[in-house]
Amino acid sequence: MKYFATALTLAALATAAPAPVPIGGVGVRPNDTAPVYHTMSDFDFQSLNLGLNQEWIELDLFNYGVSRFSEEEFAAAGLGPDDISLINFMANQEVGHAELLTNILSAYGRTPAKQCTYRYDFETVRDFVNFCQRLTRWGESGVYGFLPHLDSRPSAQLLLQSITTEARQQMIFRQFSGAHPMPVYFETGISQSMSWSLLSQYIVTCPAENPKIDWQIFPALNVVNDANLLVDGYLANITHNRTSLTAPGRTVQFSWEAPGKTTSYNGTYNTTVGGNVTDLVPKYAAWISQLNTTYTELNVSSTNNFSATTLQPGGTVFNVTQDDGIVNGTMFVALTTENPYVTPYNLSLLNDVIVAWGLYQAD
């Protein structure tokens, strides 16, 4: 009876109609155009090539950290041989990610970026893992920001499957830093210009054939009293519950660079402010985290137009819990001349009013 039932089931499957698909959707039916995994516009190429530059620095960074520090230095930071092996494996992941993007970008005879030389400003293992968690933060968020806007949906699917791995890397490096691994409910997305502004300052020289990156670079923003994620007494662990590094109402001190600085890729780029900026003195701090962009007013120094203070905002994402603060984790902050209403899908509209851009270590 068992074999008879199986035969009937196979016969029924052979004559069954295709499974129903609700109305809508793209590329989900047998007669839809077969997926082609290449860029379909210059927007696609520029976005994915920026992503490739991010993968290259991560590959270099992970290998550099493992080669520079001894096992004894890693051990002093609470990291053993298995942890070092994990960082090695993450470097291998970047080899795969770079190969994927290179293959997509190489269609139609175009030249994708090759690996460059980089500069790093850390001197200890703890500083290394902290730098890694910051770099993977903007690497992850930078892709989330452009992913739904790509013309090539098939390419977006492949990139999605690589960036989910980078999300895990960011979480692991927070754990290696002795921090809570994921102190937010939602991971934010940022624009290509926002991501490129953070990445570009660590790139020194590149092969001459590397294509020019068309996204703008904003002047660098420095949080003078930025919190230090590396709290004494908290070494690497799966998770730590610890006192928050910042709080609503905290006075935050900023300084920033004037536009026009030569930077990155053999000194071939210059920093610029947003296209709608007519006055270089910003009025607002834009706090970008989770689903929110929240503005606070700036108090610009009367003696130095490149320094200011503001108060860290409070509030939660949905006002239904107390542990989903809109200012949390490793997040982003911009100084702007206006305070336009933006959402996660159209955050790039903020580009036009940015005077300076940087990271904020909330927790």
Per-residue pLDDT of the chain (363 residues; tens, 9 = 90+): 455 556 556 666 566 666 788 999 999 888 888 999 999 999 999 999 999 999 999 999 999 999 999 999 999 999 999 999 999 999 999 999 999 999 999 988 899 999 999 999 999 999 999 999 999 999 999 999 999 999 999 999 999 999 999 999 999 999 999 999 999 999 999 999 999 999 999 999 999 999 999 999 999 999 999 999 999 999 999 999 999 999 999 999 999 999 999 998 889 999 999 999 999 999 999 999 999 999 999 999 988 889 999 999 999 999 888 888 999 999 999 999 999 999 999 999 999 999 999 999 999
pLDDT for 298-328, tens place per residue? 999 988 889 999 999 999 999 888 888 999 9
Q: 124 - beta bridge partners?
A: none
- Give the three-state DSSP class for 113: coil
∠ at Cα 148 (145, 151), nearest 5°? 120
Quick check: 192 and 155 in contact, CB under 8 A? no
CA distance 199 to 202: 6
* 197: nearest Cα among 252, 142, 118, 266: 142
Tokens of residue 127, six digits: 């500083």
The structure tokens listed for 211 are 């294509």
Angle among Cα 167, 168, 171 to the nearest 5 degrees reads: 90
CA–CA gap between residue 322 and residue 312 (Å, rounded):
17
Domains of the chain: 42-205 (1.20.1260.10), 221-361 (no CATH)
Read off the pLDDT of residues 25-61 as tens digits, 9 standing for 90 and up: 999 888 888 999 999 999 999 999 999 999 999 999 9
What are the two backbone dihedrals, phi and then psi, of residue 46, each rounded to the nearest 5 degrees? Answer: -65, -35
d(CA 201, CA 359): 13
pTM (2 decimals)?
A: 0.94
Q: How far apart are CA 340 and CA 275, in angstroms?
A: 14
Residues in the chain: 363
